[in-house]
């Protein structure tokens, strides 16, 4: 396997892989939902919590607080570098992609009649905040048609108009896999004067991204999908955008000064990332996220991609050998992502029964996959597919996982005949 020698002992880095459930080994094929957690990142978080006191943000100025401020700044700086942001100030720490999207939707300065275009692959965490704005009459929501499991670029170009304020595109679908060539979507939006939000939740964990090169205006991802703890994520905001956004969540740490002048209070808010990080933050989570980036960088993204590409191709080939199994998406493009989704065209196939079967069938293995709509109802409703069975991979995944899964799939299919 290419790059294998550069991948550290993963069983040590992911202790959950050594767990047994009812004496069965775990075959974890649900990393797109949430990845197993890295020991280094978990250690970083617990060491941080046990060592440091105080808060960052220059509120308290005693030594303990200054230490936390320094650690938080270092995490911000490192993560800015990892994703190619031009400045650490472009990094806003959030609890995850969902919070980032809610912040973006509530902070964007929509003018009367503004239109927001969403790709048809968007997760509900993208769709719902904008759906609510559309129901409140604040925006008009438009969805790009789906073509060959991807947003139809020609149709999209025709949808862009003078009222388009924002376009949201997912970098990699959590339903159909692959990766979207979003640069052309971004360029077309910019030519039209619109801003672009990129949902990179399924991309950042296994790809090297450069947000400045991509020229995204905003981009979000979640730490828990890349081995970091739950409750930490990033909203990247291009520096030039700060002056026009209005933060939706205010509180401690978001103001330069509050004064009482001429009979009323005057508040001078920050016009940078600080205004999006109201209150005490998840400092230990930020440090742990930095650690998970360090681990991924040490492994090397070329090695990660080579390994996952091989697994994706292997899974496609093995699944396709079953009668009535249809792998979704374009085979040549699937290898650019970390997911393989499929359906079974046998009407007796039940995803509920299959899920139970996967847990019960083998005496040696417990197999975890995800079946359903994957919280991306737009993608499913815009296609002729009701639900999918999704295999998703991270750096610990292996071809053996696919072999074990396929034995169980074969046995289940046989039980239907
Ligand atoms: N966007 C995509 C493409 C996702 O796959 C997910 C989660 O599965 C999200 C957004 C939401 O991420 P989170 O639940 O970490 O906020």
How confident is the model over 224-252, as pLDDT tens digits?
A: 999 999 999 999 999 999 999 998 889 99
pLDDT of residue 289: 98
CB 369 within 8 A of CB 406: no
Cα–Cα distances in angstroms (integers) from residue 318 to residues 148, 174, 342, in the given order: 22, 21, 12
Within 8 A by CB and 6+ apart from 148, the residues are 330
CB 402 within 8 A of CB 318: yes
pLDDT of residue 359: 87
Do 304 and 282 fall within a single domain? no
pLDDT of residue 195: 98
What is the full DSSP assignment across 192-253?
TT-EEEEE-TTTGGGS---HHHHT-SEEEEEGGGGTSPTT-EEEEE-GGGTTT---S---TT
Separation between Cα atoms, residue 416 and residue 374, nearest integer Å: 25
CB 150 within 8 A of CB 184: no
Cα–Cα distances in angstroms (integers) from residue 63 to residues 60, 76, 278, 279, 284, in the given order: 9, 20, 22, 20, 17
Do 28 and 125 fall within a single domain? no
Is the pLDDT confidence value at 8 over 60? no
Domain-ending residue, one of 264, 297, 330: 297
What is the per-residue pLDDT across 61-112, written as a single tens digit (0 to 9) for each? 898 999 999 999 999 999 999 999 999 999 999 999 999 999 999 999 999 9
SS3 (DSSP) at 90: helix
Provide the mean pLDDT of the chain.
94
CATH number for the domain including 324? 3.90.1150.10
Out of 37, 182, 202, mutate this one to test ligand 1's pocket (max ligand atoms within 8 Å of CB): namely: 202
pLDDT of residue 1: 43
CB 243 within 8 A of CB 272: no
pLDDT of residue 78: 98
Separation between Cα atoms, residue 28 and residue 117, nearest integer Å: 35
- What is the span of the domain harbouring residue 150? 41-297
The single residue listed with the structure tokens 């947000």 is 211
pLDDT band at 362 (very low <50, low <70, confident <90, very high): confident
pLDDT of residue 247: 85
Separation between Cα atoms, residue 241 and residue 340, nearest integer Å: 36
Domain-ending residue, one of 297, 328, 345: 297
Percent of the chain predicted with pLDDT > 90: 86
What is the per-residue pLDDT across 30-59, written as a single tens digit (0 to 9) for each? 999 999 999 999 999 999 999 998 888 878
Separation between Cα atoms, residue 192 and residue 238, nearest integer Å: 18
- Positive or negative, the CA dihedral 20, 17, 373, 226 is positive
Do 69 and 17 fall within a single domain? no
Do 138 and 252 fall within a single domain? yes
Pocket-forming residues, ligand 1, beta carbon under 6 Å: 32-33, 96-98, 123, 125, 170, 174, 199, 201-202, 222
Q: Report CA(97)–ligand 1 centroid distance (Å).
A: 6
What is the average pLDDT across 205-233? 98
Atom of ligand 1 nearest to the CA of 33: 8
Smallest Cα–Cα separation from 287: which of 115, 64, 109, 42?
A: 42
SS3 (DSSP) at 130: helix
Q: What is the DSSP letter of 18?
A: G
Q: How many domains does the chain fold into?
A: 2
Do 17 and 100 fall within a single domain? no
Separation between Cα atoms, residue 329 and residue 319, nearest integer Å: 13
Separation between Cα atoms, residue 140 and residue 163, nearest integer Å: 9
Q: Report CA(201)–ligand 1 centroid distance (Å).
A: 6
Smallest Cα–Cα separation from 153: which of 124, 107, 119, 192?
A: 119
Domain-ending residue, one of 228, 262, 297: 297
Do 271 and 304 fall within a single domain? no
CB 227 within 8 A of CB 297: no
pLDDT band at 382 (very low <50, low <70, confident <90, very high): confident
Do 217 and 200 fall within a single domain? yes
Atom of ligand 1 nearest to the CA of 34: 8
Q: What is the CA radius of gyration of the chain?
A: 22
Do 157 and 253 fall within a single domain? yes
Do 275 and 377 fall within a single domain? no
Q: Report CA(210)–ligand 1 centroid distance (Å).
A: 20
CB 339 within 8 A of CB 391: yes
Is the pLDDT confidence value at 155 over 50? yes
Do 23 and 123 fall within a single domain? no
Cα–Cα distances in angstroms (integers) from residue 364 to residues 20, 23, 368, 401, in the given order: 9, 7, 13, 12
The single residue listed with the structure tokens 């991204």 is 209
Smallest Cα–Cα separation from 354: which of 284, 280, 405?
A: 405
Do 247 and 370 fall within a single domain? no
Which strands make up the sheet holding 365-368, listed edge to edge?
A: 20-21, 24-28, 365-368
CATH number for the domain including 212? 3.40.640.10
Atom of ligand 1 nearest to the CA of 96: 16
Do 401 and 279 fall within a single domain? no
172-184 burial, b for 16+ CB within 10 Å, e for fewer? bbbbbbbbbebee
Q: Report CA(368)–ligand 1 centroid distance (Å).
A: 18
Q: How far apart are the first and last CA of the chain?
A: 37
Q: Report CA(345)–ligand 1 centroid distance (Å).
A: 28
């Amino acid at each position: 396997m290419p790059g294998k020698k550069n991948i550290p002992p993963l069983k040590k880095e992911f202790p959950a892989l050594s767990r047994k459930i009812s004496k069965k080994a775990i075959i974890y094929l649900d990393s797109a939902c949430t990845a197993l957690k890295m020991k280094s990142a978990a250690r970083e978080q617990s060491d941080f919590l046990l060592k440091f006191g105080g808060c960052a943000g220059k509120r308290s100025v005693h030594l303990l607080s200054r230490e936390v401020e320094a650690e938080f700044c270092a995490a911000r700086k490192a993560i800015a570098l990892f994703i190619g942001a031009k400045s650490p100030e472009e990094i806003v720490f959030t609890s995850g992609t969902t919070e980032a999207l809610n912040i973006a939707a509530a902070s964007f300065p929509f003018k009367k009649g503004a239109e927001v275009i969403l790709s048809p692959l968007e997760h509900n965490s993208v769709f719902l905040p904008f759906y609510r704005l559309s129901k409140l009459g604040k925006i008009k929501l438009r969805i790009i048609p789906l073509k060959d499991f991807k947003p139809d670029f020609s149709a999209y170009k025709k949808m862009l108009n003078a009222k388009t304020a924002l376009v949201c595109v997912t970098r990699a679908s959590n339903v159909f896999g692959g990766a979207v060539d979003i640069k052309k979507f971004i360029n077309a939006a910019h030519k039209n004067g619109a801003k672009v939000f990129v949902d990179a939740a399924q991309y950042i964990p296994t790809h090297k991204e450069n947000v400045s090169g991509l020229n995204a205006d905003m981009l979000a991802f979640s730490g828990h999908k890349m081995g970091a703890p739950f409750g930490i994520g990033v909203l990247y905001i291009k520096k030039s955008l700060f002056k026009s956004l209005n933060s939706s969540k205010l509180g401690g740490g978001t103001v330069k000064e509050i004064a009482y002048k001429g009979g009323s209070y005057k508040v001078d808010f920050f016009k940078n990332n600080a205004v999006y990080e109201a209150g005490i933050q998840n400092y230990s989570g930020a440090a742990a996220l930095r650690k998970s980036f360090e681990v991924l960088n040490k492994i090397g993204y070329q090695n990660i991609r080579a390994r996952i590409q091989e697994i994706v191709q292997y899974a496609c080939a093995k699944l396709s050998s079953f009668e009535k199994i249809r792998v979704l998406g374009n085979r040549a493009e699937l290898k650019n992502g970390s997911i393989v989704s499929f359906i079974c065209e046998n009407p007796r196939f039940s995803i509920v029964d299959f899920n139970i079967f996967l847990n019960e069938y083998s005496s040696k293995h417990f197999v975890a996959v995800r079946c359903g709509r994957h919280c991306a109802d737009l993608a499913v409703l815009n296609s002729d597919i009701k639900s999918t069975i999704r295999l998703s991979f991270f750096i610990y995944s292996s071809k053996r996982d696919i072999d074990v899964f396929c034995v169980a799939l074969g046995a289940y299919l046989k039980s239907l005949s």
